[in-house]
Structure 1
Amino acid sequence: LLIFISLSMPQPTLQRLIDQAARAQASIVLRGFANGSLRTTVAQVQRLIGDRQVAVQIDPQAFDRYAVNRVPAFVLVRDGARPVACAGGSCAPAEGYLRTSGDVSLDYALEYMRRWAPGFGPAADTFLKRIRG
């Protein structure tokens, strides 16, 4: 489960998503460095995360791979899905993932994915159980 964000998003939204990512054991994905600086990015991420255990990655290619063009975006990747070659490098096959976006909570996004694509229901349920404890 990947949550695509930007550090320029409102702080309450970022805090909510970081908290839910920690509980769900999801990864946070950033496109690049804040103000072009690794140091600034690390400082901002550390302030957001605090003492929570959250995986954060800077991966501009993931934005292309999953066709993410606005944040926050939520991507649920099917186990075993392998990228395929495409014009920009590598893309995820359409049947290998679900994507939704909008200023919603992670559990809302997962509920939506589960309703929209029942085949992803078991994976969505796994993350929902983690969020809800």
Structure 2
Amino acid sequence: MSIVVGYVPTPAGEAAVQAAITEAGLRDENLLVVNSAREGSLVESTVAAPEDLDRVLARAAEAGVHAEVVRGTHRDDFTDEILDLADKHDASLIVIGLRRRSTVGKFIMGSVAQRILLQADHPVLAVKPPR
């Protein structure tokens, strides 16, 4: 079994990775760090730089957790990629970061976190960054 965490280089993403590393250490499980770009997008703020991912892997190693990065592309929604990986790796937990959004923002743009929470067949831990 493993823990799957969706990672973006934001405070919410950092909070999610830290919680996932902690859970993986407590459960003695592997960690899959998922970072994905929208297919066809030339520039996207959710794509982590190699140094961001190296830092995440180093933090996991310091905690004694085996981690690997899964980089991919998604067409419509990052939700499907996270849920497919969780199924493929028989995840014991999915960890996601939450960020504050206005009601109008959620209505117009939707929420990947909300869709993961509602559609996942695996337990989901949702964390917020510290204020």
Structure with more relative contact order (C-alpha pairs < 8 Å, separation 6 or more): 2
* Greater share of helix: 1
Q: If you compute each CA radius of gyration, which structure gives the higher value, 1 or 2?
A: 1
Shorter chain as normaliser: what TM range?
Answer: 0.3 to 0.5
TM-score (normalised: structure 2): 0.41
* Greater share of strand: 2
TM-score (normalised: structure 1): 0.40
